Amino acid sequence: MIASEPFTMKKANSKVKPKAKSKVKSILISQPKPESERSPYFDLASKFNVRMDFFPFIRVEGIHGKDFRKDKIVLTDYSAVIFNSRNAIDHFFRICEELRTRMQQDTKYFCISEAVALYLQKYILYRKRKVFYGNGTERELENLLLKHKDGERFLFPCSDVHKEGMCLFLEEKGFAFDKAVIYKTVSSDLSELKKLKYDIMVFFSPLGVKSLFENFPKFKQGNTKIAALGKATAKAVQDAGMKLNIEAPVPEAPSMATALENYLVTTGKK
């Protein structure tokens, strides 16, 4: 995997506002480079004149069809499928293709958000299928599923590493369902990063922290500031013996972009 190119600043002109001051010169985001130019990370790079590099510390790897067969799951036995990500959709239909299986025309699809639901158009005739979606939260998706519980048999395609909340909910409410692991999350090869000389490194999952030390067993934090999104990631950072400097979400920083901006503003005042 090739590292994303650092964010490049556009040439300034007389109408551009002066750059905000910050002692931070470089930030490593352990995720792929955003496809949209409207990403708040690009805004931060421009506003504070910071080099923002993107490199995914983890990657998704599909479970081969022959290995999936070992779970003895027959896809056409299910009248409804639950999707909580685009990855789940991609690998579900990849498995269908490998097993030469075509889902029934009346199969229902329940998606965590409208964006995920619309992604189904890549694989199905959207208008001719029954597609339902929530507002992006598990609670909303759960409420939606309860309305269609009776008479349906659900399949929940997921990664080998996933939140147990959905499965616990389905069990507690007595749904007829099965979980199907169709892809796994593994550490990326970070050898192209060579020396990790960044002022800030940002992590979004415990697996990202794990990947860091799998690739660089002798990594020392030194003067690098560590940012973490979510309590599980924060715990992984601390369990790895690193000091957590920036955390989100918190009341004053509901997103990682906001947390970074607050920190950059603070360092500019020192």
CA distance 185 to 199: 27
Count CB neighbours of 222 within 10 A. 7
Inside any domain, residue 39: yes
Who's near 269: CB < 8 A, 6+ residues apart?
none
Q: How far apart are the first and last CA of the chain?
A: 38
Amino acid 269: pLDDT: 67
* Whether residue 167 is found in the same domain as residue 196: no
* Whether residue 45 is found in the same domain as residue 67: no
- Reference 140, options 166, 115, 121; nearest CA is 166
Evaluate whether 104 touches 75 at the Cβ level (below 8 Å): no
Evaluate whether 256 touches 245 at the Cβ level (below 8 Å): no
Q: Give how many domains the chain has, as a whole number.
A: 2
* Whether residue 147 is found in the same domain as residue 162: yes
* Whether residue 146 is found in the same domain as residue 200: no
* Whether residue 104 is found in the same domain as residue 144: yes
Q: Structural domain of residue 83, as residue ranges? A: 61-186
Inside any domain, residue 2: no
Amino acid 17: pLDDT: 57
Who's near 246: CB < 8 A, 6+ residues apart?
200, 202, 225, 226, 227, 228, 259, 260, 263
* Whether residue 209 is found in the same domain as residue 111: no
* Whether residue 155 is found in the same domain as residue 212: no
Amino acid 103: pLDDT: 94
Choosing from 186, 212, 239, the residue where a domain stops is 186
CATH of the domain at 212: 3.40.50.10090
Inside any domain, residue 67: yes
Inside any domain, residue 196: yes
* Whether residue 138 is found in the same domain as residue 196: no
For residue 210, what are its two tokens? 């794990």
How far out from the chain centre does Cα 137 lie? 14
- pLDDT digit string (tens) for the chain, length 270 residues: 334 444 444 444 445 455 676 789 999 999 999 988 889 999 999 999 999 999 999 999 999 998 999 999 999 999 999 999 999 999 999 999 999 999 998 999 999 999 999 999 999 987 767 999 999 888 999 999 999 999 999 999 999 887 788 999 999 999 999 999 999 999 999 999 977 899 999 999 999 999 999 999 999 999 999 999 999 999 999 999 999 999 999 999 999 999 999 999 998 766
* Whether residue 68 is found in the same domain as residue 156: yes
**CA-CA-CA-CA torsion sign (37, 41, 47, 48):** negative
Inside any domain, residue 4: no
Inside any domain, residue 9: no
* Whether residue 49 is found in the same domain as residue 87: no
* Whether residue 182 is found in the same domain as residue 85: yes
Amino acid 125: pLDDT: 83
pTM value > 0.85: no
* Whether residue 77 is found in the same domain as residue 174: yes
